[in-house]
Amino acid sequence: MDYGLQDLIRSIDLELLKSTLLRLAAVLLCLTVHESCHGLAAYALGDPTARDRRRLSLNPLRHIDWLGLAMMLFVGFGWAKPVPVDPRHFKRPKWGMALTALAGPASNLLLALLAMLLSRELYLRLPGSPAGAWIFSFLLYTLAPLSVGLGVFNLLPVPPLDGAKVLGAFLPDRAYFGLMRYERYGMLFLLALSWFGVTGTVISGTIARVYGGLFGAVFQGVG
């Protein structure tokens, strides 16, 4: 083997590589569940658009926006390809959009809860198992906080995030359509706030409280 290649292999930080791959797996799972549940909610409410465009899928390649994925990995928040929704199929379009939007963050919070419940079972049933400890760490310290973070972030009432559509259900039509006019600029606004550190403390604190609340409920009484 070429000595230069050997030196390159030895220089790789295996722990950093492992943590990056685990984070990537968690991000893909969180985004895929989030987008699939948007599509499932819309389908349940009468809109077949996501189904017809093959977005009711757990294949992450159907949902991933590569720039949004990179942002999620390296900046802390990002996005996937929006699931196509046609509100004309809903009996009550604003409420249909709100429920479809809410399904994404709700699915992330449920995924985090499931990850914690599984990690609790591993802790109780496989004490001392190296494989159990590895999966426990991934579920509790990588997947669960990322899923909570994605769910909480998307509940912000800023277009194009899901929280804006949920808020819109309670607004008069004029105010709702006025809010949605700024959907294309919302992500730039959020990036600017993040760059200047305006949202970091508030969002991080909220994520920590939600994660802590779920953790306390799941691991209550576990010594």
Total-model pTM: 0.88
- Cα-based distances in Å from 43 to 91, 97, 120, 158: 13, 11, 34, 24
CA 190 – CA 192 distance, rounded (Å):
5
Spell out the per-residue pLDDT of the chain, length 223, in tens: 455 555 555 556 667 778 889 999 999 999 999 999 999 999 999 999 999 999 999 999 999 999 888 888 777 677 889 999 999 999 999 999 999 999 999 999 999 999 999 999 999 998 888 888 999 999 999 999 999 999 999 998 888 899 999 999 999 988 888 878 877 777 777 777 667 666 667 788 899 999 999 999 999 988 7
Distance of CA 26 to the CA centre of its chain: 9
Would you say 145 and 211 are in contact if contact means Cβ atoms under 8 Å apart?
Answer: yes
CA 111 – CA 206 distance, rounded (Å):
17
User: What residue type is assigned to position 124 of the chain?
Assistant: L
Question: What's the number of CA atoms in the CB half-sphere (13 Å) around residue 40?
Answer: 14
Positions marked catalytic: 35
